[in-house]
């Protein structure tokens, strides 16, 4: 059954993206990288990553791309309700060391949850974030990242904010013990290529059309790998996908 | 009517475990390394997922039910998790039979030994016959005719619940293929034995009992049904006693002529053994994958083996229907 959540706050982060701060009756207990299924009655149900969890409060960063996200943007204001189930999936690994978080667009959301968790770890942890956006107007959550990570670098495709270029062209891959990435798939592919070449551990968060969210229906399989985004992911070790169709397609892109 | 293995059926010597307890079963001429089967609609949507279930220990795997033409299925929400089981209203989403055939071929050439059961949904004999021959041609080791999808439209359900139609469909499939024909039945139907009888008369080799029950859930805060399809199929724990009864009755009625497969709420070896004792030759597993993951097949199989050993049996066959013999 779904949990009923009260919408405490709605903030417009960019023209397309809103932050929803929800309050639950009890703690959700999510792991960084996990997602919830969000149901808006009368409209539909979609997977959304948990961007932050504090006590009974969770943050969801929702980009308007279609029917259900559009309805949420239009209809759900402060004081309204959303219904959620979860948390689901396997998230990012967290252990002391040097972590580089690479995010693209609204894909940065689950990395904030990860940054929070890494910050709270015992032991020596250093966290850098490299966040890429199309343009200055698309940048989001920068202040939040700056509060919890040791260094934030921003890049934009058009150079209107931070360095000009793709985030994958500006990242420093010699420094980290592990790279965690979330964002558009071409970005993830390019990063996978660079990391696998250098032997750097990379965890990537993938998205596919999701239906049951429970690992049964097969809708969110990553093509021909037998891996389900909802249950085996959404976070995968990039090596796991290197042998599969995913990598084959990626190589075609690079060729 | 009992057919021999058919296209590509596995014929290998009986595999006995070190202690001499055989988990292997024979189902209408197909050899299953153990009596657990992946249920239709669960992970059966691609060659790679079917292969994953098989390499996780499923003795046989069933494809998602296929229709002749593509079906989008229902929009989300399509599942509700209950304390007692799961409601789903997927609505038979599938790419249509023809685009799926390469998946069957790919599975069959993967070298995995678990037979593949191709599940189909058809509302007239012509469609049933075309689909069955195409699926056999692609390499399916058996055809499962689903006459019980709880998420079909009301019209479809009214149609498919008729004995006459079931007879026609099974006859059509029987005429079109040499592989075994399975018929998957609904859990509640006042004329269940009549419906099953029609299937048996028409040449079915195996009765699969059962599909999910029709049910629904309402969210009290939203004050509306949760599933977009309003009603859905109830599977898991809550279904078990109902499907178990169906297996017991069907085995009693038709056990001399055909074999029965039990489906509904199997989570551990005890559930599986109950079905075997009621008369099932094998059990299918679906919903339990949520709670037990893919290791459920190996765990149920080794639990059955442990039971056989403890109770002094040497094969699964010995306990099939034992609850009737008392
Ligand atoms: C594990 C996971 C976590 C996610 N986390 C977030 C998040 O934190 N914030 C966020 O804004 N979005 C997130 N998404 C994506 C979000 O679920 C989709 O944008 C949403 O389902 C679109 O629904 P819609 O009805 O608005 O769009 P639709 O009307 O269904 O589709 C609009 C367009 O978006 C495309 N699309 C829809 N769903 C997906 C998808 N899953 N992957 C790729 N393309 C898609 C469609 O092809 C179409 O072009 C996540 C997805 C997954 C699988
Ligand atoms: C998500 C889901 C999808 C299903 N799809 C099908 C299907 O396409 N065809 C079919 O014959 N049965 C389908 N079923 C029913 C199962 O095969 C099985 O009969 C039922 O779930 C009872 O077994 P279980 O309790 O082990 O899940 C589906 C069940 C679930 C949970």
- Give the ligand 2 atom nearest the CA of B85: 25
pLDDT, residue A243, reads 57
| Cβ(B181)–Cβ(B203) below 8 Å | yes
pLDDT single digits (tens) A139-149: 999 999 999 99
B91 in a domain, yes or no? yes
pLDDT, residue B10, reads 36
B4 in a domain, yes or no? no
Chain B neighbors of A2, CB-CB under 8 A? 219, 226
Higher pLDDT: A243 or B304? It is B304
CA proximity to A85, closest of A130, A149, A123, A37: A37
The boundaries of the domain holding residue B297 are 25-325
* Per-position b or e across A62-73, b if 16+ CB within 10 A of its CB: bbbeeebbeebb
B2 in a domain, yes or no? no
Domains in chain A (CATH in brackets) are: 3-88 (2.40.30.10), 97-254 (3.40.50.80)
B235 in a domain, yes or no? yes
Write the CATH number for B66.
3.20.20.70
B14 in a domain, yes or no? no
| Percentage of chain A lying above the pLDDT 90 cut | 82
Residue A248: pLDDT band (50, 70, 90) is low
For residues B180 and B173, what is the distance between their CA atoms, to the nearest angstrom?
Answer: 10
pLDDT, residue B1, reads 36
pLDDT single digits (tens) A158-173: 999 999 999 888 888 9
The residue written with tokens 């789903």 in the block is B88
pLDDT, residue B265, reads 98
pLDDT, residue B5, reads 35
Minimal C-alpha gap between B212 and chain A (Å):
15
pLDDT, residue B6, reads 35
| C-alpha to C-alpha distances, B205 to A169, B23, B95, B167, B202, nearest whole angstrom | 61, 21, 28, 13, 10
pLDDT, residue B3, reads 36
- Atom 21 (ligand 2): residue with closest C-alpha? B235
pLDDT single digits (tens) A56-69: 999 999 999 999 99
The residue written with tokens 């979609």 in the block is A46
B127 in a domain, yes or no? yes
For residues A250 and A189, what is the distance between their CA atoms, to the nearest angstrom?
Answer: 6
pLDDT, residue A85, reads 97
- Atom 28 (ligand 2): residue with closest C-alpha? B41
B137 in a domain, yes or no? yes
For residues A203 and A207, what is the distance between their CA atoms, to the nearest angstrom?
Answer: 13
Mean pLDDT of chain A: 92
A7: pLDDT strictly greater than 80: yes
State how many domains chain B has: 1
pLDDT, residue A249, reads 53
Mean pLDDT (10-residue bins), chain B, 326 residues: 36 44 91 97 96 97 96 96 96 95 96 97 94 98 91 73 91 97 90 93 97 95 96 96 97 96 98 98 98 96 96 95 86
Burial class (CB in 10 A: 0-12, 13-18, 19+), B311: exposed
Strand partners, A53: A58
Identify the residues whose C-beta falls under 6 Å from ligand 2.
A 212, 216-217; B 39-42, 64-65, 86, 88, 90, 92, 119, 146, 149, 184, 211-212, 233, 235-236, 239, 263-266, 285-288
Residue A228: pLDDT band (50, 70, 90) is very high
B227 in a domain, yes or no? yes
Report the catalytic residues of B.
Answer: 149
* ipTM reported for the complex, 2 dp: 0.90
Tell me, yes or no, if B228 comes closer than 8 A to chain A by beta carbon. yes
Residue A197: pLDDT band (50, 70, 90) is confident
């Amino acid at each position: 059954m779904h949990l009923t959540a009260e919408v405490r706050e709605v903030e417009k982060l960019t023209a397309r993206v809103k932050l929803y701060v929800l309050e639950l009756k009890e703690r959700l207990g999510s792991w960084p990288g996990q997602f919830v299924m969000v149901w808006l009655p009368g409209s539909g149900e979609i997977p959304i990553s948990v961007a932050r969890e504090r006590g009974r409060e969770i943050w969801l960063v929702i980009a308007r791309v279609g029917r259900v996200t559009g309805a949420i943007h239009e209809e759900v204001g402060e004081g309204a309700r959303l219904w959620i189930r979860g948390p689901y999936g396997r998230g990012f690994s967290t252990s002391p060391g040097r972590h580089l978080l690479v995010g693209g667009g609204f894909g940065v959301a689950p990395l904030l949850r990860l940054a929070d968790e890494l910050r709270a770890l015992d032991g020596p942890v250093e966290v850098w974030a490299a966040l890429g956006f199309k343009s200055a107007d698309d940048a989001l959550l920068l202040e939040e990242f700056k509060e919890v990570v040791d260094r934030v670098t921003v890049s934009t495709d058009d150079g209107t904010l931070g360095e000009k270029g793709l985030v994958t062209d500006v990242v420093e891959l010699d420094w980290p013990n592990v790279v965690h990435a979330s964002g558009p798939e071409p970005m993830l592919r390019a990063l996978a290529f660079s990391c696998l070449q250098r032997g750097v551990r990379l965890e990537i968060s993938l998205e596919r059309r999701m239906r049951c969210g429970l690992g049964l229906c097969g809708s969110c399989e990553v093509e021909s790998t037998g891996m389900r985004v909802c249950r085996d992911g959404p976070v995968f070790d990039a090596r796991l996908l290197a042998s599969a169709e995913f990598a084959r397609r990626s190589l075609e892109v690079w060729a | 009517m009992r057919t021999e293995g058919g296209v590509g059926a596995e014929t290998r010597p009986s595999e006995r475990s070190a202690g001499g307890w055989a988990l292997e079963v024979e189902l209408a001429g197909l050899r299953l390394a153990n009596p657990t089967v992946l249920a239709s609609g669960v992970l059966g949507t691609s060659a790679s997922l079917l292969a994953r279930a098989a390499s996780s220990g499923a003795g046989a795997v069933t494809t998602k039910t296929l229709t002749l033409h593509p079906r989008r299925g229902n929009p989300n929400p399509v599942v509700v998790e209950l304390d007692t089981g799961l409601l789903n209203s997927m609505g038979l989403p599938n790419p249509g039979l023809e685009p799926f055939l390469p998946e069957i071929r790919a599975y069959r050439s993967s070298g995995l030994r678990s037979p593949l059961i191709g599940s189909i949904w058809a509302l007239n004999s012509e469609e049933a016959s075309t689909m069955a021959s195409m699926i056999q041609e692609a390499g399916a080791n058996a055809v499962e005719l689903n006459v019980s999808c709880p998420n079909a439209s009301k019209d479809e359900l009214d149609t498919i619940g008729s004995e006459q139609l079931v007879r026609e469909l099974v006859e059509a499939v029987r005429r079109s293929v040499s592989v075994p024909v399975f018929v998957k039945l609904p859990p509640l139907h006042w004329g269940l034995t009549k419906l099953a009888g029609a299937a048996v008369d028409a040449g079915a080799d195996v009765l699969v009992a059962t599909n999910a029950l029709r049910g629904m859930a309402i969210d009290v805060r939203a004050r509306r049904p949760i599933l977009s399809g309003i009603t859905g199929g109830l599977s898991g724990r809550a279904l078990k006693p109902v499907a178990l009864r169906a297996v017991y009755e069907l085995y009693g009625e038709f056990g001399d002529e055909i074999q029965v497969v039990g489906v509904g709420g199997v989570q551990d070896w005890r559930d599986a053994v109950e079905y075997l004792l009621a008369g099932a030759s094998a059990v299918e597993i679906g919903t339990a994958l949520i709670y037990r993951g893919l290791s459920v097949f190996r765990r149920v199989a080794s639990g059955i083996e442990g039971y056989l050993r403890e109770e002094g049996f040497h094969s699964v066959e010995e306990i099939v229907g034992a609850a009737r013999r008392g």
